[in-house]
Structure 1
């Protein structure tokens, strides 16, 4: 019984020592075995690994592709125009030993800072030799490849491979935006004024053509009306002449009644004349002789 009591602690110590000598590497990770800060083992494959217990330690690093978003950088282009540019990069650890020596105990966070500094220097170096048109056109892919080559060359010393670099923002600085917007607004207002002027000119032409058409139609209608009126007057005079020739007495009677109607209409000017005036011959019941027939009207 006493022997069993002494064996149990020994077994526990052996189990703890055995467990502390084993480590597991996830498939998304890489591992370094360090002894007093020096690299003694590199474990890049997933699975079990072994180390000296209590003396060696295991440090894990990402085996996946990581992303880096740079801070906005103000760049002066070849045409003396200034742009605010930022970029996005993708990178991966390729040499664990070199990576450990470069970043120390900072790990991936320290690598992000160092890569950001590399890109901050590479972007002005490349964009400073080009113009705004190339930065904003399809040629920017060639510019991004140049930035990628510089970043990849500089990052190789860190044990890192820069896979891709993309320019995500190319804007004017805040102090230039107001002037640019004002210039764009002035150009749009000038284009709007030109469109209004062309529209007013076209409207004036349409209005002038309509007025000319109205004058032409009105003149033609008046001409036709004058012709019809003249033909009607000629027909009336012909009928009057025929009637006068057939019965002068009846024609004189009708003309007198028309004169009575016109002269005695209410609201007309008053007339003063003697009762035996010839104007009232047809109003008297009996007369000595018929009035002389008026002369036949002449055709116009």
Structure 2
């Protein structure tokens, strides 16, 4: 019983020692084994491995592609237009030993910070040598590739490879955006004023042409009416003249009746005339005066 009591703690201690001495390398990882901070081994093959507990430090790095989303960066283009650029990158560790020496114990967090500094520097350098039209057109792909290649060269010192760089967004800063909107609004208002002026000018020409056509048409109609009226009066006078020539007395009688009709209308029925006046010759007697 006493021997069993002594063996049990020993077995437990040996078990704990064995567990603390073993570690597993995942197929998606590269593992560094450090001896007092110095790299003594690089393990990339997956499986079970062992270390000296308390003396060996095991550092694991992910071999997969890592994302890097940068903070929006204000960039001044070659044509002095400013843009707020939002970019992201994809990278991975290619040399774990060099990566450890470059970033120390900070690992991926420190690497992201240094890569963001490199990426921002290349964004300013590459975009600052281009006009804004290149950033807003299909040429953006070539710019992103140039930024990627330049960043890749600098990032190689960290033991990493920059896989890709993409510009997610390129907008005008808020202040510039408002100024641009104001310029666009002023330009549209100017164009609208020009269109209104041209429309008013065209309307004035149409109106003047219509007024001229009205005057010309009215004048022609008045001329034709005067000609027709003159011809009718001439025919009437000719008829009267012919009738007067045939029977002068009847013509005089007709003229008297016309004079009575005009003089004795309802609103002019009061006459101050001598009863012996020749005006009433055809009313005083049934005989025709000589």
Q: TM-score, normalised by structure 2?
A: 0.80
**For residues 29-178 of structure 1, what are the structure 2 equivalents within 5 Å?**
29-44=29-44, 47-52=46-51, 54-55=53-54, 56-78=56-78, 82-171=82-171
Shift of the 110–256 alpha-carbon distance from structure 1 to 2, 3 Å rule, reads same
Gapped regions of structure 1 (runs ≥ 5): 293-300
Partner of 2:206: 206
Shift of 1:101: 1.8
Equivalent pair of 2:26/2:47 in contact (CA under 8 Å)? no
> How far apart, CA to CA, are the structure 1 residues paired with 2:151 and 2:97?
20
Gapped regions of structure 2 (runs ≥ 5): none
Q: Specify the SS of the correspondent of 2:196.
A: helix
Q: Specify the SS of the correspondent of 1:167.
A: strand
Larger displacement relative to structure 2 (186-195 or 273-282): 186-195
Partner of 2:260: 260
Aligned length: 289
Shift of 1:106: 1.2
Shift of the 24–281 alpha-carbon distance from structure 1 to 2, 3 Å rule, reads farther
Q: CA RMSD in A?
A: 3.4
Deviations 1:72-129 (A, max 9, x none): 4444555555554443222112222221222122121111101011123223333344
> How far apart, CA to CA, are the structure 1 residues paired with 2:253 and 2:35?
151
Larger displacement relative to structure 2 (217-226 or 268-277): 268-277
Q: Specify the SS of the correspondent of 2:266.
A: coil
> How far apart, CA to CA, are the structure 1 residues paired with 2:36 and 2:264?
143
Q: TM-score, normalised by structure 1?
A: 0.77
